[in-house]
C-alpha cells in the first residue's frame, strides 16, 4: 500500500541503463525492457529507497514548477502501476 512515508526503490533485479545505440534510457528487468519517457525517468531516478514519497513529490514539484497537490495523484498512480508490474518496491 502506497503512503507518503513509503521509500520506493527499484527491485533488486531491475536497473536503469543507458543504451547508446538508441540514445535512450532503458529499464531492464528479467525478460523485459521498458523505455521510460523523460518524466518517468525523472521519477525512477528518485526511487532510491532513501527518499520518501512526500520527498519525491517535493523534488518533482520544484523541478517542474508545479504545486505538489497538482501532481500528487499522477505520482501515486505511476508508483502504484510500476509496483504492480513488480519493478518498484514500496
CATH number of residue 57's parent domain: 1.10.10.1150
Q: Is residue 2 part of a domain?
A: no
As a residue count, the chain comes to 90
**Residue 41 backbone phi and psi in degrees, to 5:** -65, -40
> Where in the sequence is the domain holding 35, given as residue range(s)?
9-85
Count how many domains the chain has.
1
Please state, as a whole number, how many other Cβ atoms lie within 10 Å of the Cβ of residue 46: 19
What is the rounded CA–CA span in Å between residue 66 and residue 32?
33
Q: Is residue 4 part of a domain?
A: no
pLDDT tens by residue, 29-49: 998 999 999 999 999 999 999
Q: Is residue 3 part of a domain?
A: no
Report which of 86, 8, 85, 3 is spatially closest to residue 43, judged by C-alpha positions. 8
Percentage above 90 pLDDT, the chain: 96
Res. 62: pLDDT tops 90: yes
pLDDT tens by residue, 8-35: 999 999 999 999 999 999 999 998 999 9
Q: Is residue 46 part of a domain?
A: yes
Q: Is residue 1 part of a domain?
A: no
| pTM for the structure as a whole | 0.92
Q: Is residue 58 part of a domain?
A: yes
Amino acid at each position: 500500500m502506497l503512503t507518503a512515508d513509503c521509500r520506493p526503490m527499484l527491485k533488486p533485479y531491475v536497473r536503469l541503463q543507458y543504451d547508446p545505440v538508441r540514445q535512450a534510457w532503458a529499464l531492464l528487468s528479467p525478460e523485459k525492457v521498458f523505455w521510460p519517457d523523460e518524466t518517468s525517468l525523472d521519477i525512477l531516478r528518485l526511487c532510491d529507497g532513501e527518499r520518501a514519497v512526500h520527498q519525491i513529490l517535493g523534488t518533482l514539484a520544484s523541478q517542474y514548477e508545479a504545486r505538489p497537490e497538482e501532481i500528487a495523484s499522477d505520482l501515486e498512480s505511476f508508483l502504484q502501476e510500476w509496483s504492480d508490474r513488480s519493478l518498484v518496491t514500496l
